[in-house]
Amino acid sequence: MVSETISLPKPRGAFASFWNSFSENRGAVIGFYVVLAIVFIAVFAPILAPYNPLEQFKGATRLPPFWIHGADSKYWLGTDAVGRDMTSRLMYGARISLFIGLSVMLVSMVLGVILGLASAFYGGIVDVIIIRVMDLIMAIPSLVLEILIIAVTGPSLLNTVIAITIVYLPRYVRLLRASAIAELSKDYVTAAKVSGVGKLRLMLVTVLPNCTAPLIVQAALGISDAILEASGLGFLGLGAQPPTPEWGAMLADTRDLMQSHPWVMALPGLCILITVMAINLMGDGLRDALDPRLRKS
C-alpha cells in the first residue's frame, strides 16, 4: 500500500481534493453516513433483524410500534396485518430498494453510455434513430409506460427493474451524447484523431473519462429516483410480489388499514423518504464536488 501511495501520488491527490470539497458540505456528509448505515442494515439484515421477515406470529397482528399504547416490547416497530415483525421487514426492505436502485442505475448507465457514445460518434442515421427512440420513451408519461411494460411482462421484481431501466435510459443517453459532442470539438480529441487513434479507443479511452463527472452525479440521483419509482409501482401492486417485503408494496398492502392502524402505513413511507433523501443529499454533494464550475460559485 505504502509503495503504491508513493508511486501514484496523483490519483490520491485528486481523490483527496474531491473529498475535501465533498466534506465541506455538511448535508452531503450526513447523507453519506445515512446511506452507509442503510447499506450496512441491508447487507447484514439476516444478522440484525430480530425475526424472519416472513414469519407470521398468530395472535400478534397489527401491533403498534413502541411509542404507541398497546405495543408489545417483542416487536418494537409493531407487526403488520398478518403478524410479521415490522422491524425485520423494513430491514429486509432496504435490501430490495437498494437492489432496485443499484441495478436500474447500473444497467441504464451502461446502456446509456453505449447508446449515447454511439449516437455522438457515428452521427447520421444512428444518431437520428437513437434520439427518436429516446424521444418516444420520454413522450409517454413514465408511470404509464412502466405500467404497460409490466402488464406485458407480468409483475415481478425483475420486470420492475426492466421497466424502470427503459424509462430512465433517455437521461443517460442524452447526457452522454451532449457531453461527448462537446468533448469531440475540443483540441485534444482532434489531436488524438490526427495521431490515428482508433474509433473505439477514442470513444472509450479518450472521450468517456472526460464525461464521467456529470455521469456520476446523474447515477447517484438515478438511484434515488429509481427507488421512488419502484415504490410507486409497488404501491399500485405491480412491483415486488408477496411475500417480498418491498417498502412500496408494504404500503399498498396496508392501505386498507390506513384509518384504523395508520402506523403500519407510516413506517415504510418514512423509510422510502429517508433513503431517497440521504442519497439525494449525497448526490448534491457529489455534484458540488465534481463540477468545478458550481464549486467556485
Q: Which residues contact another protein by CB under 8 A?
A: 27, 54-56, 58, 61, 81-83, 132-133, 135-136, 138-144, 147-149, 151-152, 154-155, 181, 224, 228, 231-232, 235-237, 241-243, 248, 251, 253, 255-262, 265-266, 268-269, 272-273, 276-277, 280-281, 284, 294, 297
User: How many whole angstroms separate alpha carbon 180 and alpha carbon 113?
Assistant: 10
The CB-of-38 to another protein minimum distance in angstroms stands at 13
The CB-of-224 to another protein minimum distance in angstroms stands at: 7
- Least distance in Å: CB of 297 to another protein? 6
Give me the least distance between CB of 88 and another protein, in Å please. 14
Rounded CA-CA distance 101/60 in Å is 33
Beta bridge partners of 79: 85
Query: Smaller CB distance to another protein: residue 215 or 281?
Result: 281
In 10 A of CB 282, how many CB atoms? 26
Residues 6+ apart with CB under 8 A from 52: 88
CB of residue 85 to another protein, shortest distance in Å? 13
Distance of CA 113 to the CA centre of its chain: 17
Nearest distance, CB of residue 30 and another protein, angstroms: 11
Nearer to another protein, 83 or 214 (CB): 83
Q: Give the residue with the Cβ less far from another protein, 179 or 280.
A: 280
Q: What are phi and psi of 47, to 5 degrees?
A: -85, -40
CB of 144 to another protein, least distance (A): 5
181 or 197: whose CB is closer to another protein? 181
Q: How far is the CB of 154 from another protein (least distance, A)?
A: 8
DSSP per-residue letters across 204-231: IIIIGGGGHHHHHHHHHHHHHHHHHHHH
Nearer to another protein, 29 or 236 (CB): 236
Whose grid coordinates read 501511495?
5
- Residue among 1 and 139 whose Cβ is closer to another protein: 139
Kindly state the helix (H) or strand (E) to which residue 9 belongs, with its residue range.
helix 9-24
Place of cell 439525494: 280
Residue 238 DSSP label: -
The Cα–Cα gap between 283 and 224 comes to 9
Q: How many CA atoms lie within 13 A of 96 on its CB side?
A: 30
For residues 84 and 54, the answer to whether their CB atoms sit within 8 Å is yes
* φ and ψ at residue 129, rounded to 5 degrees: -60, -50
Q: Which is nearer to another protein, 146 or 211 (CB)?
A: 146
- Residue 281 CA to residue 117 CA, distance in Å, equals 29
Nearer to another protein, 45 or 221 (CB): 221
Residue 155 per-residue DSSP state: S
